[in-house]
Structure 1
Amino acid sequence: MNIPNTITWTRVFLAIIIVFLLLNGFNLLAFVLFIVSAISDYFDGYFARKLNQITNFGKIFDQMSDKILITSVLIVFVELGFVPSWMVVIIFFRDALVTTIRMVALVSNEVIAANYFGKLKTVTQMFWVVFLFMETLGFKVYMINLLLSYVVITVTVFSGVIYLVQNKRVLKG
Protein backbone atom coordinates (compact mmCIF):
# COMPACT_ATOMS: atom_id res chain seq x y z
CA MET A 1 0.00 0.00 0.00
CA ASN A 2 1.36 3.42 -0.94
CA ILE A 3 1.43 6.61 1.15
CA PRO A 4 -1.59 8.35 -0.46
CA ASN A 5 -3.82 5.28 -0.03
CA THR A 6 -2.66 4.89 3.58
CA ILE A 7 -3.70 8.50 4.25
CA THR A 8 -7.08 7.79 2.62
CA TRP A 9 -7.62 4.66 4.75
CA THR A 10 -6.73 6.71 7.83
CA ARG A 11 -9.47 9.21 6.93
CA VAL A 12 -12.03 6.37 6.85
CA PHE A 13 -10.82 5.08 10.21
CA LEU A 14 -10.97 8.60 11.67
CA ALA A 15 -14.57 8.95 10.45
CA ILE A 16 -15.56 6.06 12.72
CA ILE A 17 -13.79 7.65 15.68
CA ILE A 18 -15.32 11.08 14.97
CA VAL A 19 -18.84 9.61 14.88
CA PHE A 20 -18.23 7.79 18.18
CA LEU A 21 -16.86 10.95 19.80
CA LEU A 22 -19.74 13.13 18.57
CA LEU A 23 -22.35 10.65 19.77
CA ASN A 24 -20.72 10.62 23.19
CA GLY A 25 -20.38 14.38 23.63
CA PHE A 26 -16.65 14.73 22.93
CA ASN A 27 -17.29 17.46 20.38
CA LEU A 28 -13.98 19.31 20.65
CA LEU A 29 -11.90 16.18 20.11
CA ALA A 30 -14.22 15.12 17.26
CA PHE A 31 -13.78 18.58 15.73
CA VAL A 32 -9.98 18.39 15.91
CA LEU A 33 -10.01 14.95 14.28
CA PHE A 34 -12.38 16.20 11.59
CA ILE A 35 -9.96 19.05 10.79
CA VAL A 36 -7.11 16.52 10.57
CA SER A 37 -9.24 14.35 8.28
CA ALA A 38 -10.23 17.29 6.07
CA ILE A 39 -6.60 18.38 5.73
CA SER A 40 -5.55 14.81 4.94
CA ASP A 41 -7.76 14.98 1.84
CA TYR A 42 -5.34 17.53 0.41
CA PHE A 43 -2.25 15.55 1.37
CA ASP A 44 -3.24 12.23 -0.14
CA GLY A 45 -3.66 13.95 -3.51
CA TYR A 46 -0.46 15.94 -3.04
CA PHE A 47 1.60 12.85 -2.26
CA ALA A 48 -0.03 10.84 -5.05
CA ARG A 49 1.12 13.45 -7.56
CA LYS A 50 4.48 14.25 -5.94
CA LEU A 51 5.49 10.58 -5.52
CA ASN A 52 3.89 9.51 -8.79
CA GLN A 53 1.65 7.09 -6.88
CA ILE A 54 -1.65 7.83 -8.61
CA THR A 55 -3.67 4.62 -8.84
CA ASN A 56 -7.15 3.76 -10.08
CA PHE A 57 -7.95 2.54 -6.57
CA GLY A 58 -6.81 5.87 -5.12
CA LYS A 59 -8.84 7.89 -7.62
CA ILE A 60 -11.99 6.09 -6.53
CA PHE A 61 -11.30 5.44 -2.85
CA ASP A 62 -10.19 9.02 -2.13
CA GLN A 63 -13.59 10.28 -3.24
CA MET A 64 -15.39 7.49 -1.39
CA SER A 65 -13.53 8.27 1.83
CA ASP A 66 -14.68 11.89 1.58
CA LYS A 67 -18.26 10.70 1.18
CA ILE A 68 -17.92 8.34 4.15
CA LEU A 69 -16.47 11.08 6.35
CA ILE A 70 -18.92 13.83 5.45
CA THR A 71 -22.07 11.71 5.28
CA SER A 72 -21.30 9.96 8.57
CA VAL A 73 -20.76 13.22 10.40
CA LEU A 74 -23.84 14.83 8.83
CA ILE A 75 -25.99 11.88 9.90
CA VAL A 76 -24.84 12.45 13.48
CA PHE A 77 -25.67 16.15 13.11
CA VAL A 78 -29.16 15.13 11.99
CA GLU A 79 -29.51 13.02 15.12
CA LEU A 80 -28.25 15.90 17.26
CA GLY A 81 -30.76 18.29 15.64
CA PHE A 82 -28.32 20.53 13.78
CA VAL A 83 -29.15 19.45 10.21
CA PRO A 84 -32.49 18.61 8.57
CA SER A 85 -32.55 15.03 7.30
CA TRP A 86 -33.74 16.03 3.81
CA MET A 87 -30.42 17.77 3.19
CA VAL A 88 -28.46 14.64 3.99
CA VAL A 89 -30.80 12.65 1.72
CA ILE A 90 -30.00 15.01 -1.18
CA ILE A 91 -26.27 14.73 -0.51
CA PHE A 92 -26.49 10.94 -0.25
CA PHE A 93 -28.62 10.69 -3.40
CA ARG A 94 -26.15 12.74 -5.45
CA ASP A 95 -23.20 10.72 -4.15
CA ALA A 96 -24.95 7.39 -4.81
CA LEU A 97 -25.79 8.50 -8.35
CA VAL A 98 -22.22 9.59 -9.07
CA THR A 99 -20.83 6.38 -7.56
CA THR A 100 -23.18 4.32 -9.72
CA ILE A 101 -21.99 6.11 -12.85
CA ARG A 102 -18.38 5.45 -11.82
CA MET A 103 -19.14 1.76 -11.29
CA VAL A 104 -20.79 1.49 -14.72
CA ALA A 105 -17.76 3.17 -16.27
CA LEU A 106 -15.45 0.70 -14.51
CA VAL A 107 -17.18 -2.16 -16.30
CA SER A 108 -15.79 -0.59 -19.49
CA ASN A 109 -12.37 -0.21 -17.85
CA GLU A 110 -12.83 3.54 -17.57
CA VAL A 111 -12.01 5.42 -14.38
CA ILE A 112 -13.81 8.72 -13.99
CA ALA A 113 -11.82 11.06 -11.79
CA ALA A 114 -13.35 13.89 -9.79
CA ASN A 115 -13.96 17.10 -11.64
CA TYR A 116 -13.72 20.69 -10.39
CA PHE A 117 -17.38 20.82 -9.35
CA GLY A 118 -17.10 17.61 -7.35
CA LYS A 119 -14.10 19.02 -5.55
CA LEU A 120 -15.97 22.28 -4.91
CA LYS A 121 -18.87 20.25 -3.51
CA THR A 122 -16.53 18.44 -1.11
CA VAL A 123 -14.85 21.67 0.03
CA THR A 124 -18.18 23.43 0.66
CA GLN A 125 -19.48 20.42 2.58
CA MET A 126 -16.35 20.26 4.74
CA PHE A 127 -16.55 24.00 5.35
CA TRP A 128 -20.18 23.61 6.46
CA VAL A 129 -19.27 20.74 8.77
CA VAL A 130 -16.59 22.91 10.38
CA PHE A 131 -19.24 25.53 11.20
CA LEU A 132 -21.63 22.84 12.45
CA PHE A 133 -18.91 21.71 14.83
CA MET A 134 -18.46 25.32 15.93
CA GLU A 135 -22.16 25.45 16.74
CA THR A 136 -21.84 22.30 18.90
CA LEU A 137 -19.01 24.03 20.73
CA GLY A 138 -21.24 26.98 21.65
CA PHE A 139 -20.33 29.48 18.96
CA LYS A 140 -23.28 31.55 17.76
CA VAL A 141 -23.10 30.61 14.08
CA TYR A 142 -26.65 29.39 13.46
CA MET A 143 -27.39 31.93 10.72
CA ILE A 144 -24.06 31.20 9.01
CA ASN A 145 -24.90 27.48 9.13
CA LEU A 146 -28.34 28.13 7.68
CA LEU A 147 -26.81 30.06 4.78
CA LEU A 148 -24.06 27.47 4.30
CA SER A 149 -26.58 24.64 4.28
CA TYR A 150 -28.35 26.12 1.26
CA VAL A 151 -25.05 26.89 -0.48
CA VAL A 152 -23.98 23.28 0.07
CA ILE A 153 -27.25 21.87 -1.26
CA THR A 154 -27.08 24.14 -4.32
CA VAL A 155 -23.47 23.20 -5.09
CA THR A 156 -24.21 19.51 -4.44
CA VAL A 157 -27.17 19.44 -6.84
CA PHE A 158 -25.33 21.55 -9.44
CA SER A 159 -22.24 19.33 -9.32
CA GLY A 160 -24.45 16.25 -9.71
CA VAL A 161 -26.17 17.68 -12.78
CA ILE A 162 -22.81 18.67 -14.29
CA TYR A 163 -21.51 15.16 -13.60
CA LEU A 164 -24.52 13.61 -15.33
CA VAL A 165 -24.11 15.86 -18.36
CA GLN A 166 -20.35 15.23 -18.62
CA ASN A 167 -20.81 11.46 -18.37
CA LYS A 168 -24.07 10.90 -20.26
CA ARG A 169 -22.28 8.49 -22.60
CA VAL A 170 -21.84 6.12 -19.65
CA LEU A 171 -25.58 6.20 -18.97
CA LYS A 172 -26.36 5.17 -22.55
CA GLY A 173 -24.73 1.82 -21.78
Structure 2
Amino acid sequence: MNLPNKLTILRVCMIPFFVAVLLCQGGENQTLRIVADVIFIVASLTDLLDGKIARKYHLVTNFGKFMDPLADKLLVCSALICLIELGQIPAWVVIIIISREFIISGFRLVASDNGVVIAASYWGKFKTVFQMTAVILLILNLEPLKLVADIVLWIAVALTVISLADYIYKNHKVLTEGSM
Protein backbone atom coordinates (compact mmCIF):
# COMPACT_ATOMS: atom_id res chain seq x y z
CA MET A 1 0.00 0.00 0.00
CA ASN A 2 1.45 3.35 -1.04
CA LEU A 3 1.68 6.53 1.07
CA PRO A 4 -1.30 8.37 -0.47
CA ASN A 5 -3.56 5.38 0.26
CA LYS A 6 -2.22 5.19 3.82
CA LEU A 7 -3.06 8.87 4.29
CA THR A 8 -6.59 8.23 3.00
CA ILE A 9 -7.01 5.36 5.47
CA LEU A 10 -5.63 7.58 8.24
CA ARG A 11 -8.26 10.21 7.37
CA VAL A 12 -11.04 7.63 7.68
CA CYS A 13 -9.61 6.36 10.97
CA MET A 14 -9.53 9.90 12.38
CA ILE A 15 -13.28 10.39 11.88
CA PRO A 16 -14.50 8.43 14.94
CA PHE A 17 -12.00 10.26 17.17
CA PHE A 18 -13.08 13.59 15.74
CA VAL A 19 -16.77 12.80 16.31
CA ALA A 20 -16.17 11.51 19.84
CA VAL A 21 -14.16 14.57 20.88
CA LEU A 22 -16.58 17.04 19.28
CA LEU A 23 -19.67 15.49 20.87
CA CYS A 24 -18.04 14.82 24.24
CA GLN A 25 -19.75 16.77 27.02
CA GLY A 26 -22.43 17.88 24.59
CA GLY A 27 -19.97 20.06 22.73
CA GLU A 28 -19.87 22.46 25.67
CA ASN A 29 -16.15 22.15 26.43
CA GLN A 30 -14.24 24.73 24.37
CA THR A 31 -10.92 22.92 24.82
CA LEU A 32 -12.43 19.74 23.36
CA ARG A 33 -13.85 21.76 20.48
CA ILE A 34 -10.38 23.06 19.70
CA VAL A 35 -9.01 19.50 19.81
CA ALA A 36 -11.84 18.38 17.49
CA ASP A 37 -11.05 21.28 15.16
CA VAL A 38 -7.37 20.31 15.07
CA ILE A 39 -8.32 16.71 14.25
CA PHE A 40 -10.64 17.94 11.48
CA ILE A 41 -7.98 20.26 10.06
CA VAL A 42 -5.28 17.55 10.12
CA ALA A 43 -7.67 15.08 8.48
CA SER A 44 -8.55 17.68 5.83
CA LEU A 45 -4.89 18.37 5.15
CA THR A 46 -4.23 14.67 4.55
CA ASP A 47 -6.59 15.02 1.59
CA LEU A 48 -4.45 17.73 0.04
CA LEU A 49 -1.27 15.83 0.80
CA ASP A 50 -2.36 12.43 -0.51
CA GLY A 51 -3.53 13.95 -3.80
CA LYS A 52 -0.31 15.89 -4.35
CA ILE A 53 1.86 12.87 -3.55
CA ALA A 54 -0.21 10.54 -5.73
CA ARG A 55 -0.02 12.87 -8.75
CA LYS A 56 3.60 13.91 -8.30
CA TYR A 57 4.96 10.38 -7.92
CA HIS A 58 2.44 8.66 -10.20
CA LEU A 59 0.94 6.69 -7.31
CA VAL A 60 -2.68 6.99 -8.42
CA THR A 61 -4.50 3.70 -7.75
CA ASN A 62 -8.04 2.43 -8.16
CA PHE A 63 -8.24 2.17 -4.36
CA GLY A 64 -7.29 5.84 -4.08
CA LYS A 65 -9.73 6.90 -6.79
CA PHE A 66 -12.50 5.18 -4.86
CA MET A 67 -11.53 5.83 -1.24
CA ASP A 68 -10.18 9.38 -1.40
CA PRO A 69 -13.48 11.06 -2.36
CA LEU A 70 -15.36 8.69 -0.04
CA ALA A 71 -13.09 9.62 2.88
CA ASP A 72 -13.69 13.32 2.17
CA LYS A 73 -17.44 12.84 2.12
CA LEU A 74 -17.36 10.81 5.33
CA LEU A 75 -15.31 13.47 7.10
CA VAL A 76 -17.41 16.45 6.04
CA CYS A 77 -20.76 14.69 6.45
CA SER A 78 -19.78 13.42 9.91
CA ALA A 79 -18.89 16.96 10.94
CA LEU A 80 -22.11 18.40 9.54
CA ILE A 81 -24.26 15.78 11.27
CA CYS A 82 -22.47 16.50 14.55
CA LEU A 83 -23.18 20.20 14.08
CA ILE A 84 -26.89 19.39 13.72
CA GLU A 85 -26.68 17.43 16.98
CA LEU A 86 -25.06 20.44 18.63
CA GLY A 87 -27.81 22.72 17.33
CA GLN A 88 -25.50 24.85 15.22
CA ILE A 89 -26.89 24.25 11.75
CA PRO A 90 -30.32 23.31 10.47
CA ALA A 91 -30.85 19.80 9.14
CA TRP A 92 -32.07 21.08 5.77
CA VAL A 93 -28.63 22.56 5.07
CA VAL A 94 -27.00 19.20 5.67
CA ILE A 95 -29.66 17.43 3.61
CA ILE A 96 -28.84 19.68 0.63
CA ILE A 97 -25.11 19.04 1.02
CA ILE A 98 -25.43 15.27 1.48
CA SER A 99 -27.99 14.98 -1.34
CA ARG A 100 -25.59 16.70 -3.70
CA GLU A 101 -22.86 14.22 -2.76
CA PHE A 102 -25.16 11.24 -3.42
CA ILE A 103 -26.26 12.66 -6.78
CA ILE A 104 -22.70 13.36 -7.94
CA SER A 105 -21.55 9.93 -6.74
CA GLY A 106 -24.40 8.38 -8.73
CA PHE A 107 -23.41 10.33 -11.83
CA ARG A 108 -19.82 9.18 -11.42
CA LEU A 109 -20.89 5.56 -10.97
CA VAL A 110 -23.00 5.59 -14.14
CA ALA A 111 -20.24 7.39 -16.04
CA SER A 112 -17.66 4.88 -14.81
CA ASP A 113 -19.81 2.01 -16.06
CA ASN A 114 -19.67 3.71 -19.46
CA GLY A 115 -15.91 4.25 -19.34
CA VAL A 116 -16.24 7.98 -18.67
CA VAL A 117 -14.40 9.76 -15.89
CA ILE A 118 -16.09 12.83 -14.44
CA ALA A 119 -13.38 15.02 -13.00
CA ALA A 120 -13.93 17.44 -10.16
CA SER A 121 -14.94 20.88 -11.39
CA TYR A 122 -13.74 24.20 -10.06
CA TRP A 123 -17.22 24.76 -8.60
CA GLY A 124 -16.86 21.47 -6.71
CA LYS A 125 -13.43 22.45 -5.44
CA PHE A 126 -14.65 25.86 -4.27
CA LYS A 127 -17.61 24.12 -2.62
CA THR A 128 -15.26 21.84 -0.71
CA VAL A 129 -13.07 24.71 0.48
CA PHE A 130 -16.07 26.67 1.74
CA GLN A 131 -17.66 23.62 3.36
CA MET A 132 -14.47 22.75 5.22
CA THR A 133 -13.90 26.37 6.22
CA ALA A 134 -17.48 26.62 7.49
CA VAL A 135 -17.05 23.42 9.48
CA ILE A 136 -13.80 24.67 11.03
CA LEU A 137 -15.42 27.96 12.05
CA LEU A 138 -18.59 26.30 13.34
CA ILE A 139 -16.62 23.80 15.43
CA LEU A 140 -14.74 26.66 17.07
CA ASN A 141 -18.10 28.21 17.98
CA LEU A 142 -16.60 31.56 18.94
CA GLU A 143 -19.03 34.46 19.30
CA PRO A 144 -16.88 36.97 17.33
CA LEU A 145 -16.75 34.50 14.40
CA LYS A 146 -20.43 33.51 14.32
CA LEU A 147 -21.37 35.97 11.58
CA VAL A 148 -18.34 34.96 9.50
CA ALA A 149 -19.17 31.26 10.04
CA ASP A 150 -22.77 31.84 8.96
CA ILE A 151 -21.71 33.73 5.83
CA VAL A 152 -19.18 31.05 4.88
CA LEU A 153 -21.84 28.36 5.48
CA TRP A 154 -24.33 30.19 3.22
CA ILE A 155 -21.68 30.50 0.52
CA ALA A 156 -20.96 26.77 0.91
CA VAL A 157 -24.66 25.95 0.47
CA ALA A 158 -24.87 28.19 -2.59
CA LEU A 159 -21.74 26.60 -4.09
CA THR A 160 -23.18 23.16 -3.31
CA VAL A 161 -26.25 23.94 -5.41
CA ILE A 162 -24.24 25.69 -8.15
CA SER A 163 -21.75 22.83 -8.41
CA LEU A 164 -24.61 20.31 -8.60
CA ALA A 165 -26.28 22.29 -11.39
CA ASP A 166 -22.92 22.53 -13.19
CA TYR A 167 -22.36 18.75 -12.94
CA ILE A 168 -25.86 17.99 -14.17
CA TYR A 169 -25.58 20.47 -17.04
CA LYS A 170 -22.17 19.21 -18.16
CA ASN A 171 -22.86 15.50 -17.66
CA HIS A 172 -26.59 14.98 -18.27
CA LYS A 173 -25.79 12.85 -21.32
CA VAL A 174 -24.31 10.22 -18.99
CA LEU A 175 -27.84 9.50 -17.78
CA THR A 176 -29.85 10.31 -20.89
CA GLU A 177 -27.66 8.70 -23.54
CA GLY A 178 -25.51 6.27 -21.60
CA SER A 179 -22.28 7.97 -22.67
CA MET A 180 -20.87 11.39 -23.31
| Percent of aligned positions that are identical | 39
Q: TM-score, normalised by structure 2?
A: 0.89
Q: Contact 2:33–2:140 at 8 Å: present in 1 too?
A: no
Q: Contact 1:31–1:133 at 8 Å: present in 2 too?
A: yes
Q: Contact 1:60–1:113 at 8 Å: present in 2 too?
A: no
Asked whether 1:143 is paired with 2:140, we answer no
Asked whether 1:16 is paired with 2:16, we answer yes
* 2:144 alignment partner, SS class: coil
Match of 1:158 among 144, 162, 168: 162
* 1:52 alignment partner, SS class: coil
Q: Which residue does 1:60 correspond to in 2? A: 66
Q: Contact 2:134–2:150 at 8 Å: present in 1 too?
A: no
Matches of 1:73 and 1:139 in 2, distance apart?
Answer: 19
Unaligned runs of 5+ in 1: none
Q: TM-score, normalised by structure 1?
A: 0.93
Whichever residue aligns with residue 72 of structure 1, its letter is S
* 1:82 alignment partner, SS class: coil
RMSD, aligned CA? 1.4
Whichever residue aligns with residue 166 of structure 2, its letter is I
Q: Which residue does 2:80 correspond to in 1? A: 74
Using the TM superposition, give the Cα deviation of residue 110 of structure 1 relative to its aligned residue in structure 2, in angstroms: 2.9
Cα pair distance change 1:165/1:60, threshold 3 Å: farther
Using the TM superposition, give the Cα deviation of residue 60 of structure 1 relative to its aligned residue in structure 2, in angstroms: 3.3
Cα pair distance change 1:113/1:9, threshold 3 Å: farther
| Matched residue count | 171
* 2:8 alignment partner, SS class: helix
Question: After superposition, where does 1:1-173 map in structure 2 within 5 Å?
Answer: 1-25=1-25, 26-135=32-141, 138-172=142-176, 173=178
Whichever residue aligns with residue 3 of structure 1, its letter is L
Whichever residue aligns with residue 14 of structure 1, its letter is M
Matches of 2:152 and 2:64 in 1, distance apart?
Answer: 29
